[in-house]
Amino acid sequence: MRTAHKNYEHEFHEGAGHAFLQRQNEREGANRNVTIKAWPRAIRFLKQHLGNDFNCEFRIADWGVGEIVIERGIITDSGRMV
């Protein structure tokens, strides 16, 4: 990413597995804790880059996996939410 001159944030989540969003009950709760932390960051990123028209919320689904609920809109080829 640095070589390509891209802005990014690297974050390591101690104890969480590779597919932590899919395996909430593994690793003594580390996966669920990371999901709770990671999804809101993902939403902030999307709003920052797609604008405030990107209207969504984060929740832990009944079956234990985090999900983003998008209220409306589509992403166009230009990356804009409409």
Q: Where are the domains of the chain?
A: 17-82
DSSP 81: B
pLDDT at 82: 47
E strand or H helix at 56, and its extent?
Answer: strand 56-60
Q: Cα-flanking dihedrals φ and ψ of residue 66, to 5°?
A: -70, 145
Model pTM score = 0.53
Which two structure tokens, joined as six digits, stand for 65?
């996996």
Query: Which residue in the block uniquely carries the two structure tokens 């689904």?
Result: 61
User: Torsion over CA of 67, 68, 74 and 75, rounded to 10 degrees?
Assistant: -90
Residues of the chain with pLDDT under 70: 19-30, 52-54, 56-82
